[in-house]
């Protein structure tokens, strides 16, 4: 059953949950690439890693052990400690 809340704010922003501010630039940042372990996702991420590296951005690779479950807590915490932003791929 869906619930309805009344907005406690001044309603200056969209009703949907806001997403975090993006990074100001990629300079000196570390990007996490998370393979959700679907076929061919790794190949796509390999190429993205090369493209980021070509722009001087550090990349770290992570993988979910199985595509059917959410990423384990350790993986999330590891990404949070090691990365400034994260890209997940590939859902099909």
Partner 1 sequence: MSDTHTNYIVVVKRDCPTCVLVEPVLAQLQSGGCKLQVWSQDDPTFPETVTDVGNDTNLEKSWAMKIETVPTVIRMEQGAEAERTVGWDRSEWQRLFDNDELVAELPDFRPGCGSKSVEPGMPEKLALRFGDINLQSREIVVGEMEDPMESCFERGWSDGLPVVPPTQLRVVRMLAGTNRDPAEVLGHVPPDLQPCTIEKVAINAVMAGCKPEYLPVVIAAVEACLIDEFCMHGLLATTWFSGPMVIVNGPIARAIGMNSGGNALGQGNRANATIGRALQLVIRNVGGGKPGGVDRATLGNPGKYTFCFAEDEENSCWESLAVQRGFSPEQSTVTLFAADGVQGIADQRSREPESLCHSLAASLLAVGHQKFVMHSDAFVILVPEHQRIFAKAGWSKQKVIDTLMEFTTRPGSELVPGAGGIEEGMPEFVKDMELPKFKPGGLNIVHAGGTAGLFSAIVSGWLASGDMGSSPVSKEIVI
Partner 2 sequence: MDLEGRGIPGGYILTEQFRQADLAQAKSLGFAANKVFVEHPIQDRTDDEMGVIAERAFEAVKAMIVEPVAD
State the residue for tokens 């200056």. Answer: 12
**Per rule CB under 8 A, is residue 1 in the interface with partner 1?**
yes
Q: How many CB atoms lie within 10 A of CB 92?
A: 7
Binding map of partner 2 across residues 3-42, x = CB under 8 A, - = no contact: -------------xx-xxxxxxxx----xx-x----xx--
One character per residue 9-28, x = contact with partner 1 (rule: CB under 8 A)? xxxx--x-xx----------
* Cβ closest to partner 2, residue 10 vs residue 91: 91
Q: Is residue 2 at the binding interface for partner 1, with CB under 8 A as the rule? A: yes
How deeply is 90 buried, as exposed, middle or buried, from its count of CB atoms within 10 A (0-12, 13-18, 19+)? middle
Candidates 8-16, 25-33, 43-51, 75-83; binding stretch for partner 1 (CB under 8 A):
8-16
Largest distance between two CA atoms of the chain = 49
Asked whether 82 and 32 are in contact (CB, 8 A), the reply is yes
């Amino acid at each position: 059953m869906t619930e309805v809340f009344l907005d406690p704010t001044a309603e200056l922003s969209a009703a949907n949950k806001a997403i975090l501010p993006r990074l100001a630039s990629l300079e000196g940042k570390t990007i996490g690439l998370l393979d959700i372990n679907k076929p061919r996702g790794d190949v796509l991420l390999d190429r993205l890693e090369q493209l980021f590296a070509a722009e001087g951005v550090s990349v770290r690779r992570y993988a979910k052990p199985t595509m059917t479950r959410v990423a384990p807590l350790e993986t999330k915490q590891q990404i949070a400690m090691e990365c400034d932003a994260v890209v997940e791929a590939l859902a099909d």
